[in-house]
Amino acid sequence: MASTSTGLEGTTGAMTLTHVNVPPAQTWNYLKIDQIALSVPVPASAGTVPTRLPRLFSRIGAGVGAEAVSWVEAATGDSRYVEVPRGTVREDPIVLSCDADAGEVRDSGVMVRGGATATIVVVSHGSGDSDGDAPLSPTPVATSANLVRVYAEKGATVHLVEVVAMGDERQHLEGIGLAAEDGARVDARQYLLGGGRVAVGFEADLAGDAATLNLDSRYIVRHHEVLDVNHAVLQRGERTRCDIQTSGVLADAGQKTMRETIDLRHGGHGSKGNERETVLVTGDDIVNRTLPVILCDEDDVAGNHGASIGSVSPEQMTYLADRGLSDGEAEALFARALFDDAVIHAPEQQSLAAVLDRAATVVGDDMAHDLASGLGIEPASADDPKEE
């Protein structure tokens, strides 16, 4: 169902969300890694009665925390609810977009019934790029939010593609929540391609036996952008599987915080959780925080995590220089590879347009054109979307 309001028009003043992206297990507070605070507009309290999601969705966490979810629910207009009938295969992707330039705040719920298959595309896009030289303003030009909660019933299959692509004058809050019953499978790809201050939560509750989550998360953080991510997976069912692969590029004075938690709960016999982050650092003034956590109160499980943080080695740079690439060009290749991957996996026009728009800003128009023509497509504008 289409929304009739995006929520933040007519807001008065600002408020601070102090506990956004709080991981399930925290650590020394002086490290400032346990949460991020966001200054957001106070939701208007006009006497309207917007459409709300079914109560079921309130039980699904979205990684951003209860305070942020409450703000979204207060600030949004009508919520969007989509249901995929039992046993069906939905061919058209469900597109849940958010226009950051307009400061939209969206709240969506998707029910994928037993045995059904669906592709969900979450696109949060916007422009608003500064020259990148100055640190971020403490009062961002625009704040947007996109909250999506998905309930996958027994045997359901969900393909989720998430794109966050906007300029560094935008502040964005994004939360993805998943609940998976027995045998449900979620394959998610997350592309975090830009935004001045972006907080992304991703929480999955693998409550059913043999529920599976594969999350492939890619990001690029540049200029003075701040990216704050909280991935949390709760493995409660027996023989659940979780595999999180995260990789990204940290350039200029970009700041990134990545929290990844695998929580292997008592009773989840035979479950396995795996997480890995690889960070390529190309900036001299970066801040790179990582908190990869495994919580475990069951012996019949296996949990692994790894993190690798580093730059391109001098040997690799020499190899590329021998082939005529400067340091800057070589590092741009890594950024291009990330956009290449995003373009290949964008399942429909709107996400594709958002990626290509952002690619034009980050790696240049020529490279963005190459990306598009490599797929034999003409880039379309993200401002002209077709939406659920």
d(CA 143, CA 34): 22
Looking at residues 240 to 269 of the shown chain, list those that interact with another protein (rule: CB under 8 A).
264, 266
Chain position carrying tokens 């019949």: 300
Rounded to 5 degrees, what angle do the CA atoms 57, 262, 94 make? 40
Choose, by CB under 8 A, the member of 295, 337, 375, 377 that binds another protein.
Answer: 295
Q: Which stretch binds another protein (CB under 8 A): 55-63, 85-93, 302-310, 338-346?
A: 302-310
Give the nearest distance from C-beta 279 to another protein in angstroms: 8
Q: Is 36 exposed, middle or buried (0-12, 13-18, 19+ CB in 10 A)?
A: buried
Burial 149-160 (b: 16+ CB within 10 A, else e): bbbbbbbbbbbb
DSSP H or E segment with residue 215: strand 212-221
Give the nearest distance from C-beta 58 to another protein in angstroms: 24
Spell out the residues 6+ positions from residue 222 whose beta carbon is closer than 8 angstroms to its own. Answer: 132, 194, 249, 251, 252, 254, 283, 362
Minimum CB distance to another protein smaller for 20 or for 281: 281
Choose, by CB under 8 A, the member of 34, 181, 228, 238 that binds another protein.
Answer: 34
Q: What is the DSSP string of 46-112?
A: -S-------GGGGGS--SS-HHHHHHHHHH-SS-EEEEE-TT-B--S-EEEEEETTTT-EEEEEEEE
Give the nearest distance from C-beta 172 to another protein in angstroms: 24
Q: Is 307 in the site for another protein (CB under 8 A)?
A: yes
Q: Is 292 in the site for another protein (CB under 8 A)?
A: yes
DSSP H or E segment with residue 370: helix 365-374
Give the nearest distance from C-beta 30 to another protein in angstroms: 9
Q: Is 18 in the site for another protein (CB under 8 A)?
A: no
Chain position carrying tokens 């909280």: 230
Using an 8 Å Cβ cutoff, are 331 and 282 in contact? yes
Q: Is 305 in the site for another protein (CB under 8 A)?
A: yes
Minimum CB distance to another protein smaller for 117 or for 288: 288
Pairing of strands 185-192, 212-221: parallel
The phi and psi torsions of 55 (rounded to 5 degrees) equal -55, -30
Choose, by CB under 8 A, the member of 117, 127, 245, 290 that binds another protein.
Answer: 290
DSSP H or E segment with residue 359: helix 349-362
Minimum CB distance to another protein smaller for 87 or for 306: 306
Four-residue CA torsion sign, 128, 129, 131, 137: positive
Query: Which 3 state secondary structure label does DSSP give 339?
Result: helix
Choose, by CB under 8 A, the member of 94, 294, 332, 372 that binds another protein.
Answer: 294
Q: Is 301 in the site for another protein (CB under 8 A)?
A: yes
DSSP 31: G
Q: Is 216 in the site for another protein (CB under 8 A)?
A: no
Q: Is 387 in the site for another protein (CB under 8 A)?
A: no
Choose, by CB under 8 A, the member of 42, 44, 287, 320 that binds another protein.
Answer: 287
* Closest to 277 in 3D by CA, of 190, 154, 374: 190
Choose, by CB under 8 A, the member of 211, 291, 343, 362 that binds another protein.
Answer: 291
Q: Which stretch binds another protein (CB under 8 A): 21-29, 107-115, 127-135, 321-329?
A: 21-29
Give the nearest distance from C-beta 255 to another protein in angstroms: 10
Choose, by CB under 8 A, the member of 302, 329, 344, 373 that binds another protein.
Answer: 302
Q: Is 29 in the site for another protein (CB under 8 A)?
A: yes
Choose, by CB under 8 A, the member of 5, 127, 137, 288 that binds another protein.
Answer: 288
Looking at residues 308 to 327 of the shown chain, list those that interact with another protein (rule: CB under 8 A).
308-311
Q: Is 26 in the site for another protein (CB under 8 A)?
A: yes
In order of 38, 337, 346, 383, 387, the CA distances from 343 in angstroms are 30, 10, 5, 17, 19
Looking at residues 95 to 114 of the shown chain, list those that interact with another protein (rule: CB under 8 A).
none
Minimum CB distance to another protein smaller for 285 or for 365: 285
Give the nearest distance from C-beta 224 to another protein in angstroms: 14
Instruction: List residues near another protein by CB under 8 A.
Output: 25-29, 31, 33-34, 264, 266, 281-311
